[in-house]
Amino acid sequence: MKYMMLIHHDDEALAKADQSLWADYAAFNEALVKAGGSAGERLHPAAGATNVRIRGGKAEVLDGPYADTKEKLAGYFMIDAATPEEAVAWAQRCPSARYGTIEVRPIMDMQR
Amino acid sequence: MSSDRASGVVERIARESYGRLAALVAARTRDLVLAEDLLAEAFAAALAQWPAEGVPATPDGWLITVAKRRHADLLRREQVRMNGEPHLQMLAAEIGEAEELPDRRLALMFACAHPLIERGARAPLILQTVLGITAKSIAAAFLVSPSSMSQRLVRSKAHIKESGIPFGVPEQTEMPERLDAVLEAIYAAYSTGWDDTDEGTSVLAPEAIWLAGLIVELLPGEPEAKALLALMLYAEARRDARRDRDGRYVPIDRQDIALWDRARIGKAEALMHAANSAGPTGRYQLEAAIQSAHIAQRLSGVDCWPAVVALYDHLVALTNSPVARLNRAAALAEVAGPEAALAELSGISADSRMLGYQPYWATLGHLHLRAGHVEAGREALTVAIGLSTDDAVRQHLRLRLDAAS
């Protein structure tokens, strides 16, 4: 089953993180690729987000984070895991698990 | 007596002795869920009474007595309802029983290992009911989500009650299968305690060793029980040497042997020889013999690598596990050189389980570097770092990677 791993970060905690975090991220991405996945993507800070919606036929375009939470979506990666346990193991390895939270979400199989 | 101190004592007992107390109550009630409810009531009573009246001389005994009294009340009420049922007789008989803690805990462990309990739940159930580990920590150790682990445990406890699984040491014919699950649970508890350095869980390793010791006493004819105890004692003997002052991981070939606990090593040796008297055959016997060879090598300087490779040959034949083959290759490097070991590893490189297995990439990286393949070595070590969850291990590998550039 395919899983999307959503990385939620507190930007302040991330700013204080040790610089080895980025070396660890490079290593983590390499391990992901070796195991048949693809390297994760990192997002620009949520403050630079643009939110778009259409209400009553009118488009509204708003700046700023979508959710007013301390931890914000900061990136994601996808894996193909045989069991939910394997997916959780990958979340534990993600360097961001030490600073934020990794949300593990199975992807719906629309072929079935 | 300050109320802070009293509630501190309650908290400490809940943390350190919960499993033991629950096991003791459960041995009476034959119902784990009920036992935990009764114990919770006893703890609540302690929190209400101890700050005012002082902590009793034997707090554990006090809690057990309260839980038993609540149980008696329950039975009495049931007695009235079910008129004629001989519950009170049973109760009287049970109160008269000696409180032999060790045997009760073992009886509970074997009940949890009953074939009627789903296989995947046996070891976790033992960890929770006998050792008092929370479903959350068990879930982490077995890599499942806490909610599904809780469900699995609740289901199993209900099953023990409904099917009337007896509490006791099983018949000789049922022993091998149940002993497997019991030993597996003890080893899992030990491994959890081994990795954990924070104080809250450090009691697990000594608990695991103590329980294995009980099983050895109870079942002196079971070589695998002796071997598991030896295996854990070998590891425990090296506990103080496995991290340096800064908390960094130290591999066995660089540990300070002055920090090893020789008394424990001696005990482990005696156990292992007793277990192996008919030749090492079981999994724990082989693993204990491998530990013994590693330690002998450091203590005597005698080259034990050929013996280690031979022991791994047996382990590979017995388990056919890729992990055993990986360790065999690492040992082979010391006998026949890194190229021979790398050739061996190519046999398991296609196994998809190895792709996400950190020790595979760490071993591959070290072997490539030793063989002078800098590029391949750095690549494999990088993957190993990416797969590590332990800071100390990650730092150890990073130093190795930096030295190779």
**Whole-angstrom distance between the N-terminal and C-terminal Cα of chain B?**
63
Nearest chain A residue to B395, by CA: A20
Q: Choose the weakest-confidence range: B35-44, B67-76, B91-100, B298-307.
A: B91-100
Q: Categorize the per-residue pLDDT at B198 as very low, low, confident or very high, splitting at 50, 70 and 90.
A: very low
Q: What pLDDT is stored for residue B261 in this prediction?
A: 94
Residue B305 pLDDT greater than 90, yes or no:
yes
Contacts of A20 in chain B (CB under 8 A): 398
- pLDDT for B226 beyond 70: yes
Nearest CB partner across the interface for B145, out of A23, A29, A84: A84
What pLDDT score was predicted for residue B132?
Answer: 66
Q: How far apart are CA B224 and CA B285, in angstroms?
A: 6
Half-sphere exposure of B78 (CA within 13 A, CB side): 12
Q: Where do we find the tokens 């065999």?
A: B328
Determine the residue type at B327: N
Q: For A34-79, how does the pLDDT look when each residue is reduced to its tens digit (9 = 90+)?
A: 887 778 888 988 888 999 999 998 999 989 888 888 888 999 999 9
Least confident of B263-267, B312-316, B345-349, B366-370: B345-349
CA distances from B262 to B257, B292, B295 (A): 9, 12, 11
CB pairs under 8 A between A and B: 54
pLDDT of the residue at B90:
45
Q: What predicted TM-score, i.e. pTM, was given to this entire model?
A: 0.67
For residue B99, pLDDT beyond 50: no
Task: Check CB contact under 8 Å for A85 and B379.
Answer: no
Nearest by Cα to B385 from B375, B373, B371, B399: B399
Helical segments of B197-282, H only: 204-218, 223-237, 262-275
CB contact under 8 Å between A89 and B356, yes or no, is yes
Contacts of A85 in chain B (CB under 8 A): 142-144
By CA distance, what is A83's nearest residue in B? Answer: B144
- Any idea which residue has 């424990």 for tokens? B264
Angle at B60 (CA atoms; ends B58, B65), nearest 5 degrees? 95
Query: What's the pLDDT at B191?
Result: 79
Please indicate whether, in this complex, the C-beta atoms of A28 and B355 are within 8 angstroms of each other.
no
Q: Looking at residue B43, what is its pLDDT?
A: 84
Q: Which of B148, B382, B389 sits opposite A27 (nearest CB)?
A: B382
CA distances from residue B182 to B124, B199, B238, B281, B301 in whole angstroms, order as listed: 10, 25, 25, 19, 36
Our CA-based measurement puts residue A110 at a distance from the nearest CA of chain B, in whole angstroms, of: 25
> What pLDDT is stored for residue B201 in this prediction?
43
- A32, B389: Cβ pair inside 8 Å? no
Q: Compute the nearest-CA separation of A52 from chain B (Å).
A: 35
Q: How far apart are CA A17 and CA B322, in angstroms?
A: 36
Contact A27 B389 (CB under 8 A): no
Closest CA to A4 of A30, A31, A40: A40
List, in order, residues 6 or more apart from B53 with CB less than 8 Å away: none
Q: What is the mean pLDDT of chain B?
A: 80
Residue B112 belongs to what H/E stretch? helix B101-112
Cβ–Cβ of B386/A20 closer than 8 Å?
no
pLDDT score of B398 more than 70: yes
Q: What is the pLDDT of residues A1-25, one digit of tens each?
A: 899 999 998 877 777 888 888 888 9
pLDDT at B88: 39
Residue of chain A minimizing CA distance to B390: A93
